[in-house]
Amino acid sequence: MPQPAEIEANPELAPGKRTNYRWVVMTLIFIVWVIACADRANLGVALPFMRKEFGISNTEAGAIVSLFAFSYAIVQIPAGLFYKRISAKTAEWIFPLFMFLVSACTGLMGTTSSTFLLKLYRVGLGVAEGPMGIGCTNIINRWFPAKEKGTTMGLWNTASKLGAVIAPPVCVVIAEAFGWRQIFYLFAFPGIVLAVAWYFMVKISPSDSKFCSPAEVAYIQSEQIPDGPVPAKGTQPSSVRKHRDFGWLDKLNRTKKVVPLSTVGQVFRSWNVFANAIAYGCMIGISNTFMLWIPTYLMTVKGFTSMKMGFLASAPFVGAVIGNTLGGWVSDRMMDKRRKPTMLVGALCTIIMMVALLYAPNNAFYLGMMLMLSGLLLGFGYAGFTVYPMGLATKEAYPLAFAIVNTGGQLGGACAPLVVGIILDAYSWNAVFIYLALSAVLCFMLISSIDEPIMDAAPEKTAA
């Protein structure tokens, strides 16, 4: 009978058939996050209709849009500390409770009779949805081995973009047929159903799930998988898989062996965490601008009908779906779990595309292709920002590290739409695209400054 240490080193020695229930959990996470992100994206399509009804200026529209991200950002660190301290049993019912509250706030936006109430419900949506991102990534971190985390985080980020793909055309059809208020009523319903499904199907730890076999638990808990043939039963593997050496690229990439951050103080003193957070804010700012302002751009600047706008507004996020998945796969498989290369390539290509949008064509097909390519290149490095803290921190400290990164991301995402509204009241859309290009430049510089962590058998340096 193999010993626990042998099973952890070589999951193939675990008794029984290995299930794949972690992918069922990932499927549910994917659907939950698609719906959650559709709930935040639907305002972008409803906003032109709401501006006519309530007489909202560009600056006030930017403020309404940004309130979600500000409130989302404010709760990140408290939520990270909360998840670090609560028991697994508490976490299992807290997460679906937040899902229910997100649906409630979404539905309430359809009842609004003033801009004040709209702002209030938007803040409520951000506060309710804020802990959900940490909850999803915490489950991914606990349910998947290291070699699958880039792919799964790519899928999670893909879900956020898929929500933005689905929302515009669906919202336009609903608004044209029934009015803009019905958008929020119909989008509120799926979250309630998913909250019930989550409560019964997902445990915080795979070892607590009756659907997850011991062999799958052993596979999940093995952070390093041996290369080559499986050793004979009852024997230790001859070696543990090492990261491939990329030579000059590793030097350029600042690749280093690290000891994981394990305490609150270590996390808060980490330049790697905070630089990644600010860079993530730059990229979310660009993404949120596309999500919440592109519909207005397409109708007011390019003169498209609301129906055509609905499909064109989805184009960047169709590209982002492809980019997120491709970037996660490249990071895991081709770059051997290195996260910085895809982040840097994504930022560099985004700079180029933002400059190209200064010369955006009026033809719907060519503009749609340009928007889709912009989304693909933006999304290529997106997964890296959220999976990067997994390589810096222990599983217990990860929620806090991710909370800091997500706080920076959401603050950037909150500021950008507001800044865009102010720019549009004073200048033009060309100034907006220059601002977005400069955001991508800042992102590239920050990511260049951080370390690429490798956790090896004999760590040499503590993550800074």
Please give the C-alpha separations between residue 394 and each of 336, 402, 452, in angstroms, as whole numbers.
Answer: 20, 11, 16
Cα atoms found within 13 Å of the Cα of residue 387, Cβ hemisphere only: 32
Tokens of 200: 């019964």
Q: What pLDDT was estimated at residue 279? A: 95
Cα separation, 272 vs 258, whole angstroms: 12
Question: What's the pTM?
Answer: 0.69
Per-residue buried b or exposed e for 366-380, using 16+ beta carbons within 10 Å of the residue's own CB: ebbebbbbbbbbbbb
DSSP state at residue 12: G
Q: What pLDDT was estimated at residue 236? A: 43
Averaged in consecutive runs of 10 residues, what is the pLDDT profile of the chain (464 residues)? Answer: 51 68 94 88 82 83 82 86 76 88 92 90 91 87 84 82 82 88 91 92 90 90 48 43 72 83 89 94 90 84 82 86 83 82 92 92 90 90 83 83 87 87 89 95 94 60 48
228: phi > 0 → left, psi -120 to 50 → alpha, else beta; which? Answer: left
Calculate Rg over the CA atoms of the chain.
22
Q: What pLDDT was estimated at residue 15? A: 56
Q: Please say whether the dihedral angle defined by the alpha carbons of residues 9, 12, 13 and 19, taken in this order, is positive or negative.
A: positive
Q: What pLDDT was estimated at residue 78? A: 87
Cα atoms found within 13 Å of the Cα of residue 33, Cβ hemisphere only: 27
Q: What pLDDT was estimated at residue 243? A: 64
